[in-house]
Chain A
Amino acid sequence: MSQINRLSQGGRIDRSQPLSFSFNGQNYQGYAGDTLAAALLANGVDVVGRSFKYSRPRGIVAAGAEEPNAVLQIGSTEAAQIPNVRATQQALYAGLVASSVNGWPSVNTDLMGILGKVGGGMMPPGFYYKTFMYPQNLWLTYEKYIRKAAGLGRAPKENDPDSYDYMNQHCDVLVVGGGAAGLAAALAAGRSGARVILADEQEEFGGSLLSTRETLDGKPASDWAAKAIAELEKMTEVTLLPRATVNGYHDHNFLTIHQRLTDHLGEVAPMGQVRQRMHRVRAKRVVLATGAHERPLVYANNDVPGNMLADAVSTYVRRYGVAPGRQLVLSTTNDYAYRVVLDWLDAGQQVVAVADARSNPRGAWVEEARKRGVRILTGSAVVEARGSKRVNAARICAIDLKNHTVASPGEVLDCDLIVSSGGYSPVVHLASHLGGKPTWQEDILAFVPGEGLQKRLCAGAVNGIFALGASLADGFEAGATAAAEAGFKQVAGSLPKVEKRHEEPAVALFQVPHDKSTARAPKQFVDLQNDVTAAGIELATREGFESVEHVKRYTALGFGTDQGKLGNINGLAIAARSLGISIPEMGTTMFRPNYTPVTFGALAGRNCGPLFEAKRYTAMQAWHLQNGAEFEDVGQWKRPWYFPKAGEDLHAAVARECLAVRNAVGILDASTLGKIDIQGPDAREFLNRVYTNAWTKLDVGKARYGLMCKEDGMVFDDGVTACLADNHFLMTTTTGGAARVLEWLEIYHQTEWPELKVYFTSVTDHWATMTLSGPNSRKLLAEVTDIDLDKDAFPFMTWKEGKVGGVPARVFRISFTGELSYEVNIQADYALAVWEKIIAAGKKHGLTPYGTETMHVLRAEKGFIIVGQDTDGSVTPDDLGMGWCVGRSKPFSWIGWRGMNREDCLKENRKQLVGLKPVDPNKVLPEGAQLVFDPKQSIPMTMVGHVTSSYMSSALNYSLAMALVKGGLKRIGERVFAPLVDGSVIEAEIVSPVFYDPKGDRQNV
Chain B
Amino acid sequence: MSEITSTPVPSSEPLDLIKLCLDEQIFVKLRGSREMIGKLHAYDSHCNMVLSDAVETIYYVHDSQSGEIKSKTKKSEMVFVRGDSVILVTDAANV
Q: Do A and B make up one complex? A: no
